[in-house]
Structure 1
Amino acid sequence: MTKPLIIAVAPNGARLAKSDHPALPLAPREVGLEAARCREAGAAMIHLHVRDAEDRHTLDLDRYREAIAAVRREAGPEMIVQVTTEAVGLYAPAEQMAAIAALRPEAFSVAVRELFAEPDDEAAAASFLAGQARAGTLVQHILYDAGDVTRFQGLVARGLIPLQRASVLFVLGRYSTGQRSQPSDLLPFLAAWNSGHHLDLPWALCAFGRREAACLIAAACLGGDVRVGFENNLWRPDGSLAPDNAAQVAALAALARGLGIEVAGPAVARTLLAARR
């Protein structure tokens, strides 16, 4: 039996603007309303980015609090809110960790190659992650290639990354013009994940371009979870522009259900993410 599928929506990201898509949600109220629509369409989690007054990527605490409040107001208290720590060349590991320590979110994502950028970063990063594990935070570790997978496993084996409430996200491709991921791009990640030091953790996938849905359904059939949305892809499989994030979520949920895969609600998603498989 395939486990219930957790669908996360990443509605905006750090790089796109309204000029890329007029329905890109940037203001807190826009994000809140889109979260509500995506929750109704089947998303159990929102991956949250916020922008400053000039619509630039920021980790500003007040901006985060305002956006989280909007999600709670519009989408209700159940949807999991996962905040990003993405650096985008603007933030050092110490700043990323300080933001999470002050915000104390239910869930956040962090790139292994950013948090453990240099050998000298290891002690502080390990202490930070241990504290988050004690606090019961859901931590998603972002892995960009098979090398990141191997490095993550090594950091776990050395006791630098705790496994309590941890998961990973495989990113198929890069934030570059014309990037188009393929389902076969998942194979090197899984080969690394299933070799060597086996980790009984939830894993999820995001992908770029019009074959996003094909990549995500492949992951779902193999026991993974998925992240869909405008952060990574604006296009339908037929090459037309998607109307909004909720339409992408609904289409993916329909594909999953058509294959007999249950779509998890927030309560089930929390249970799955909090328990190592």
Structure 2
Amino acid sequence: MSGKVIITCAITGGIHTPTMSPHLPITPQEIATSAIEAAEAGAAIIHLHARDPETGRPRQDPDLFMQFLPRIKQSTDAVLNLTTGGGLGMTLDERLAPAHRAKPEVTSLNMGSMNFSVAQLARKFTEWKFDWEKSYVENSWSTIYPNSFDMIERIMVEVGQAYGTRFEFECYDLGHLYNLKQFVDRGLVEPPFFIQGVFGIAGGMGAELDNLMFFKQTADRLFGSDYRLSSFGIGKAQMGFLTMTALMGGNVRVGLEDSLYIGRGKLAKSNAEQVTKIRRIIEELGMEIATPAEAREVLGLKGGDKVGF
């Protein structure tokens, strides 16, 4: 894997709303098509949320996930990574329901409770396609995104130990690395650890390259050779952060969950467009992208034949 970079693509997420971009995948059909296109463009891992097909509101209904998971699996060899974060305001049982149904190779796992606000996005719009959007976005200013130690432990036991699922450890702050270290020391998770640094969300680490470097130095100190670094920057920080992460020997994540744009003021027309752009940057820097098989090997995954869909 020397010089090879794993590209993750986060297809739709649970933050952006239909008003913000006409290209955001909403229906199971749109999510499946966008995921397949991203895989064909070079994404080895596809990170997935679901939405109400009528309104676009984030939903963790396992039946919705099962409308696109089998199709993506049949059409690509990509690793399918399911969210356990879900959407703002969901209970942990709601957040875990798709993972219990699908028993995937990978799920996300947020490593700490935090202020998590996207309320600033509401100021950009005066008209909304759906009634739920404005309040959903604005209410993030007054809520806390809960990921307590007992919630994290439940996910590790009920999903990781029960199904052989591994995790994309989403770390929005430096302290989240130390949270993970507690569970590593207790033996609840085993290496290699796929650590995703998240930069630029209001309430987390700022999207500054100095923060990325210190984040990596801290992870190096805590986990040594037992982890694989990945990162992404929110919004306009996206491509710069990914380029720096690749130059530091890490892996990258793109997708309309993280940024709706492909350039300054220009909406991305698809997830594949973002994958294509970061792939071009990576290859022009003299590196190669990893295949799904190579990603499975380096992350120690159980394989696509051992999932529940």
TM range (shorter): 0.7 to 0.9
Q: How far apart are residue 72 of structure 1 and its match?
A: 2.9
Tell me what 2:276 maps to.
250
Q: Does residue 1:64 correspond to 2:61, yes or no?
A: no
Q: How far apart are residue 27 of structure 1 and its match?
A: 0.8
Instruction: Map residues 20-31 of structure 1 onto 2, 5 A cutoff.
Output: 20-31=20-31
Tell me what 1:13 maps to.
13
> Residues 94 and 18 of structure 1: is their aligned pair in 2 closer, same or farther, counting only changes over 3 Å?
closer
Instruction: Map residues 135-146 of structure 1 onto 2, 5 A cutoff.
Output: 135-146=163-174
| Cα RMSD, aligned residues only | 2.7
- AA aligned to 1:272 is V
More helix by share: 2
Q: Does residue 1:204 correspond to 2:240, yes or no?
A: no
Asked whether the equivalents of residues 192 and 226 of structure 2 are also in contact (C-alpha less than 8 Å), the reply is no
State the distance in 1 between where 2:152 and 2:9 align: 30
Tell me what 1:48 maps to.
48
Secondary structure in 1 aligned to 2:29? helix
> Residues 116 and 271 of structure 1: is their aligned pair in 2 closer, same or farther, counting only changes over 3 Å?
farther
TM-score normalized with structure 2 length: 0.77
> Residues 196 and 15 of structure 1: is their aligned pair in 2 closer, same or farther, counting only changes over 3 Å?
closer
State the distance in 2 between where 1:207 and 1:112 align: 17
Secondary structure in 1 aligned to 2:21? coil
Q: Does residue 1:173 correspond to 2:200, yes or no?
A: yes
TM-score normalized with structure 1 length: 0.86
> Residues 95 and 165 of structure 1: is their aligned pair in 2 closer, same or farther, counting only changes over 3 Å?
farther
Tell me what 2:85 maps to.
86
State the distance in 2 between where 1:72 and 1:50 align: 16
Gap runs ≥5 in structure 1 = none
- AA aligned to 2:22 is P
Secondary structure in 2 aligned to 1:195? helix
Asked whether the equivalents of residues 110 and 171 of structure 2 are also in contact (C-alpha less than 8 Å), the reply is yes
Instruction: Map residues 216-227 of structure 1 onto 2, 5 A cutoff.
Output: 216-227=242-253
Q: Give aligned-pair identity as a percent.
A: 27
Tell me what 1:153 maps to.
181
Tell me what 2:140 maps to.
none
Question: 1:228 aligned to 246, 254, 260, which one?
Answer: 254
> Residues 192 and 203 of structure 1: is their aligned pair in 2 closer, same or farther, counting only changes over 3 Å?
same
Gap runs ≥5 in structure 2 = 114-144, 302-309
Instruction: Map residues 264-275 of structure 1 onto 2, 5 A cutoff.
Output: 264-274=290-300
1:200-230: CA deviations, max 9, x gaps? 1122112112231110111111121111011
Asked whether the equivalents of residues 180 and 208 of structure 1 are also in contact (C-alpha less than 8 Å), the reply is no
> Residues 273 and 88 of structure 1: is their aligned pair in 2 closer, same or farther, counting only changes over 3 Å?
same
Tell me what 1:263 maps to.
289
Q: How far apart are residue 13 of structure 1 and its match?
A: 0.8
> Residues 141 and 152 of structure 1: is their aligned pair in 2 closer, same or farther, counting only changes over 3 Å?
same
> Residues 116 and 194 of structure 1: is their aligned pair in 2 closer, same or farther, counting only changes over 3 Å?
farther
